[in-house]
Amino acid sequence: MKVGNFEINNIYNIDCLEGMQSLPNECINLVVTSPPYDDLRNYNGFHFDFENIAKELFRVMKTGGVVVWVVGDKIKNGDRTLTSFKQCIYFQEVGFNVHDIMIYQKKNTPFMRSNAYTNCYEFMFVFSKEKVNTFNPIKTKTARHGIEKLVTNKKADGINKKVVGELKKEKTLTNIWSYAVGLGGSTNDKIAFQHTAIFPEKLAHDHILSWTNEGDLVFDPMCGSGTTCKMAKLNKRNFLGMEISKEYTDLAIKRLAMMPPELF
Ligand SMILES: C[S@@+](CC[C@H](N)C(=O)[O-])C[C@H]1O[C@@H](n2cnc3c(N)ncnc32)[C@H](O)[C@@H]1O
């Protein structure tokens, strides 16, 4: 099956701006991606035309579709670049709703600065094209559940009232998600670490389950080692990946070839 010029469930070595220009309007359900923020030298110095990429993303997203944009800031001469916030504001200017600003917390981060607390997070901006049309909330077990006497809020009379109520067995996750990073955390695929900046498989998995249903099309325009594409397929979604670097494209294709062929 094709979308524009591209066979779905494939990864292409192409500048995503050029690639998106040959996609039709409103064809993508979900994007989970991480751009090459600030220090382009880490990514072989490729040009990154953020403004036009954001505009094209708006055009190709289905109404109700979601873009998860995972980004942090570099610190230059003691000053955070705020690229993350600037990009967030630009996404809103091109028409997206800022549906949520979530935090990707890294469980294991090395000590980095002598005069500031160790940074342990990146932002996960959740943009939507109009109102989000799919939300399958991930739940977590509550510490206590069952029938209990609950204390209601104090009213103006200052008296606490006790009522019998039921504590739920599970609750929806908060918008701060913590993941272990590194080998065995982000992924068990050793090959993926030939890329310098991967995000955890579980992060992609959790967003894919939250914002899509089986059979939907998940797109990563800057797919690096192919994490989003892999997790889309493992969760019975279709994927499309684009990556400007030939080296990383080959790596992502090799990584996906390690998956069971019956998934494709
Ligand atoms: C932070 S990495 C993505 C890593 C990915 N999330 C993973 O888990 O492997 C960003 C990627 O964007 C790619 N890139 C930069 N500019 C691009 C462009 N214009 N089109 C496509 N890919 C681009 C870089 O080569 C790099 O691999």
Whose CA is closest to atom 16 on ligand 1?
48
> Which ligand 1 atom sits nearest the alpha carbon of residue 49?
19
- Give the chain's mean pLDDT: 92
> Which ligand 1 atom sits nearest the alpha carbon of residue 53?
19
Choose one of 33, 222, 245 to mutate for the ligand 1 pocket test, by most ligand atoms within 8 angstroms of C-beta.
222
Write the DSSP assignment of the chain as a string of letters.
-EETTEESSEEEES-HHHHHHTSPSS-EEEEEE----S-GGGGTT----HHHHHHHHHHHEEEEEEEEEEE---EETTEE--HHHHHHHHHHHTT-EEEEEEEEEESS-----SSSPPP-EEEEEEEESSS-------EEE-SS-EEEEEEPPP-TT----EEEEEE-SEEE--SEEEE--SBTTTBS-GGGGGSSS---HHHHHHHHHHH--TT-EEEETT-TTTHHHHHHHHTT-EEEEEES-HHHHHHHHHHHHTS-GGG-
pLDDT of residue 44 exceeding 70, the answer is: no
- What are the pocket residues of ligand 1 if the criterion is a CB atom closer than 6 Å to any ligand atom? 15-17, 34, 36, 43, 46, 48, 195, 197-199, 221-222, 224-225, 227, 242-245, 248
> How much is the pTM?
0.92
* Residue 167: pLDDT band with limits 50, 70, 90: confident
pLDDT of residue 164 exceeding 60, the answer is: yes
The domain spans of the chain are 2-138+174-259, 144-172
Provide the pLDDT for residue 199.
96
Whose CA is closest to atom 26 on ligand 1?
224
CATH class of 2-138+174-259: alpha beta
